[in-house]
A and B are shown apart, each in its own frame.
Chain A
Amino acid sequence: MMRFLLLFSRQGKLRLQKWFITVTEREKKKMIRDMTLMVLARPPRSCNFLHWRDLKIVYKRYASLYFCCGLEEHDNELLTLEILHRYVELLDKYFGNVCELDIIFNFEKAYFILDEFLMGGEILETSKTAVGTAMEEAATLQETMEEYMSKPTF
């Protein structure tokens, strides 16, 4: 399973963090710092695979964003590159020519899309179109429910 997925900029600013394991805030901060340092130090055209503690780290750069995830022993690194690519494609489809600013200003949407694609560190949906459909239907639901359920909670 994937242990975590991080998105950070060339300056090391975190744009998205998804943790599939339970770790303390402190530990999370440390791991983010380590990943950022390690990945940003890599020369261009390097191999996309690293080793860190007992994990395999796979990272890929898309324009100004680094996508970085930690894998376990039995996970397929090459497939993970495809997973990262698929996520970028989903973001691109949703936002239309996605760029870093989209993810900054609509981070919650980026999370919603991610949650339709991965779950518990595993792939949830392998179809390109299904994720987009789910997002659209959820958005419709959001408006409908707002009108339908316009009564107070308590």
Chain B
Amino acid sequence: MVMNISMSCSTRAMSPSVRLQEMIRVIRGARTQGEERGVIQRECAAIRAQFRQADNGTRSHNLAKLLYVHMLGYPAHFGQMECVRLIASPRYNEKRVGYLGAMMLLDEKQDASLLITNSIKNDLSHNSQYVQSLALCTLACMGSAEMCRDLAPEIDRLLRASNSYIKKKAALCAVHIVRKVPDLGELFTPAARSLLCEKNHGVLHGAVVLITELCERNPDTLEQFRKVVPELVQIMKGLVMSGYSPEHNVAGISDPFLQVRILRLLRILGRNNDTASDAMNDLLAQVATNTDSSKTAGSAVLYETVLTVMDIKSESGLRVLAVNILGRFLLNNDRNIRYISMTSLQKIVQTDHNAVQRHRGTIVDCLKDQDASVKRRALELSLALVSAVNIRSLMKELLLFLSSCPPELRAHTTSGIFNAAERYAPSQRWHIDTILHVLTTAGGDVRDETVPNLIQLITTATELHCYTVHKLYRALITDISVQSLVQVACWCIGEYGDLLLRGECEETEPVQVTEDDVLDALETVLQSHMSSPATRGFALTATMKLSTRITHNVDRIRSIVSIYGSCIDVELQQRAVEYNALFKKYDHMRAAVLERMPVIDKSSPGHTNGESAGGIKELEQTKLTQEVVLPKDPGNQVCDLLDLLGGSGEPVPSSGLSHTVPGPATSTSGGDLLDLLGGLDVSPAPPSVKVYEKNGVTLKLQTDSQTDTGMTITLTATNSTDGDITSLTLQAAVPKSVQLQMKAPSGDVIPARGLGLVTQTVLLNNPNKVSLKMRVRVCYSSQGAVCQDTVQIDSFPSPAW
């Protein structure tokens, strides 16, 4: 066994320690957990017995044994009172173990902890500094707010008038007190200030920590301490320029611990303050340039310097220097330093975006690092660096990363890729390709909204329908295990199956697909045990939709649909039954019901990298405040109409994007025909009345439905001029007892030459059955001029049905 200093000096000290070590040896010798427990139970019983006896000189060693047992994980609460007793002992070795026990077994929540307050108080004034030190250490470790309040004046006294050994401990004790009772900060401020004049590094360090704590908690104190910036600068300079000091040197740096704390304090003092920042500018430049970073100590100091430079109001030259240091760190062989560099770059990527962009190549390389922590940091940073300029090349890297990234990072990667693609997609085709690539690689780790989002994207990319359906068909026949991909593929095939069968496609190599091939693919999905219920629903609906898009195999579809009419899955069964009805009783409506879907509108804000979020958010606000009640997302026309016809309709999803679960047949219970048709703009058009016509802008009104106590109308605006009409808003006013609810308009731009229109639905509730009148104010911009008109509507046309 190694020679222990205290052991070597006195035989009396030797024997009890051996007893402790003997016990440890026995416990370690136990071959099973059970044996160990037995030994410990016996020992604890003996210790308990000893505690109850009168003082026989072995108490401290018994407590030490108990502390060992405690560290193994066994209960030791019966030792708490023994700690209290030992702390009160006049013997140093007993006090020492007693205080150690207090720190291990007592915390501020135990009642026994209060009992040692008096002992601590006495020991703080002991004439031996080592006894004082025990008290200070214990107070700083487990002192409750109550104890701290009690003993604060003592600590303050020690801060002023004692030797360095005690002063440094008193300083950190004061830090603990301020953390527990922030109000007491004021008490320590003067003493903290004067401690900065000390030469002893331990005391200086404690002083800097204390001042940091005081400044962080109290803005007035912070203001006060700004005056000591020159002094701190001097101390730092001294450290940086000093020669070799064996006591404090670490790998060529003189006391890196103190340097780092001073730099951190300077950061707090220089933040948001030009004068203080100016005063430290030169020093920071000096430290940044002269510190040798070949070892960790130097890198630690440089790291802290960089953090400080970036947080205060530093000159641009200094900022550039700091970012370059981080860039250098990125190339360091030491993984820790690469990791640190990336966490720091992450902090400044918003504010100093261009500077960080310069290091993009290295950051992207770190995606290939073996270490999981480094990979994670590199991923975060890469996503933050995506911009319109680098989207293509960066996305290649991200997709490559996705194919080999650790499983815990996949979900985050996919959502990051989707966000980036959404904001910066250079073309729709690229966007669709990217999403499909992600689904093929990691389709199991994408969020639920991905499917509707992708569908919405596909509908808007009208010229790419042919390309998309070909691509998705190919993906489907390759692999049907990825649910998200299969769902989108089914939807697409159902919707654009005719384009697939036509066989010609501009953007991609066409495939000779027969109607049977397509139906085979869908049936495979329907029957596969890998398909989730939702996926099968997609497949069934797609199959049904094809009945109007193919010519030869309608019977096959008929038979598929009728088979599923007795499916165990309730959802599938319901759909199948409804489709059956479409085949039989309502065959004349089938074509109209299964018509092509209209383009689904999207309304989601964008947020580009490198710009502050504030500006974009404001724009979004003004766009959405239409001075009307906005219960649903705009553009969700299809669902609105469902509501209007009184059908219960499916719940509108609350995500930022509007969409419907595709297919009008996904409806409510009962298969009520009105509900089926509720979601469509189906001819014949109900009679509409022109209520406004001026400057080429025409506003028509049609009544969708009418009851005794209310009605629903739709206003339609068209534009026959050569230029688009923009910023269209409609406002309505009605008699007092009538309640008005305007749904969100379909848009605010009316394309020129009648190429499009804007509709807005208005709900009127007329419980008192007064005569309904309405005044509508129309506002819009046409050819640069703002126009505003008001029309009065005294009579309403009769409803469509």
Contact = CB atoms under 8 A, between A and B. Distances in A.
B250 A82 contact: yes
Contact of A102 (B2, B96, B300, B335): B2
A124 B172 contact: yes
Given A46-B373, A145-B93, A149-B91, A14 B336 contact: no
Interface in A70-117: 74, 76-79, 81-83, 86, 94-98, 102, 104-109, 111-112, 115
A66 B170 CA distance: 31
B340 interface: yes
A141 to B, nearest CB: 5
Interface string B222-249: 0000000000000000000000001110
A48 B9 contact: no
Interface residues of A, number: 69
Interface string A126-154: 11111000111111111101100101111
A109 to B, nearest CB: 7
A34 interface: no
A30 interface: no
Interface string B247-259: 1101000011110
Contacts of B304: 76, 79
B88 interface: yes
A49 B339 contact: yes
A139 B13 CA distance: 10
A153 B142 contact: no
Nearest to A129: B247
Contact of B89 (A45, A76, A153): A153
A124 B93 contact: no
- Residue of A111, A123, A126, A145 with most chain B CB atoms under a 10 A cut-off: A126
B1 A142 contact: no
B657 interface: no
Interface stretch (B63-71, B733-741, B751-759): B63-71
A14 B73 contact: yes
B31 interface: no
A111 B260 contact: no
B90 interface: yes
Interface string B63-97: 01001100111000000000000001111111011
Interface in B296-354: 296-297, 299-300, 303-304, 335-340
B410 interface: no
B90 A149 contact: yes
B645 to A, nearest CB: 51
A76 B108 CA distance: 28
Contacts of B452: none
A37 interface: no
Interface string B168-203: 110011011001000000000000000000000110
A50 B13 contact: no
Nearest to B295: A82
Contacts of A129: 247
A154 B55 contact: yes
A121 to B, nearest CB: 9
B260 A76 contact: yes
A82 B257 contact: yes
A119 B173 contact: yes
Contacts of A51: 373
A78 B264 CA distance: 14
B141 A20 contact: yes
Contacts of A63: none
Contact of A124 (B202, B261, B297): B202
B703 to A, nearest CB: 58
A46 B371 contact: yes
Contacts of A136: 5
A122 B172 contact: yes
B336 A145 contact: no
Contacts of B374: 47
B205 interface: yes
A120 B140 contact: yes
B165 interface: yes
A64 interface: no
Given A76-B303, A105-B1, A123-B257, A141 B128 contact: yes
Contact of A107 (B10, B68, B88, B169): B68
A29 B141 CA distance: 19
Contacts of B64: 108
Contact of A125 (B12, B202, B340): B202
A106 B18 CA distance: 10
Interface residues of B, number: 82
A22 interface: yes
B339 A139 contact: no
Given A78-B296, A108-B100, A134-B165, A146 B12 contact: yes
B648 interface: no
Interface in B112-152: 128, 130, 136-137, 140-142
- Residue of A17, A51, A98, A105 with most chain B CB atoms under a 10 A cut-off: A105
Contact of A74 (B21, B140, B264): B264
Nearest to B85: A153
Given A47-B335, A82-B297, A122-B175, A77 B340 contact: yes
B4 interface: yes
A113 B141 CA distance: 15
A127 B247 contact: yes
Contacts of B279: none
A51 B409 CA distance: 14
B109 interface: yes
Given A104-B24, A139-B5, A146 B297 contact: no
Given A112-B96, A124-B206, A142-B93, A29 B73 contact: yes
Nearest to B373: A47
Contact of A22 (B91, B107, B299): B107
A24 B71 CA distance: 15
Contacts of A98: 2
Contact of B373 (A16, A49, A81, A152): A49
A127 B202 contact: yes
Contacts of B172: 119-120, 122, 124
B4 to A, nearest CB: 6
- Residue of A48, A77, A153 with most chain B CB atoms under a 10 A cut-off: A153
A49 B9 contact: no
Nearest to A127: B247
A95 B337 CA distance: 32
Contact of A48 (B2, B21, B336): B336
- Residue of A95, A104, A111, A122 with most chain B CB atoms under a 10 A cut-off: A122
Contacts of A143: 6, 9-10, 13
A135 B96 CA distance: 12
Given A106-B4, A126-B257, A153-B89, 17 more contacts: A48-B336, A77-B336, A78-B299, A78-B337, A82-B296, A105-B1, A107-B67, A112-B100, A119-B173, A120-B179, A126-B248, A139-B5, A141-B92, A141-B130, A146-B93, A152-B55, A153-B91
18 contacts: A17-B71, A22-B108, A22-B109, A23-B107, A24-B109, A78-B299, A78-B337, A107-B71, A119-B136, A120-B176, A122-B172, A125-B168, A130-B202, A138-B96, A142-B6, A151-B90, A153-B88, A154-B55
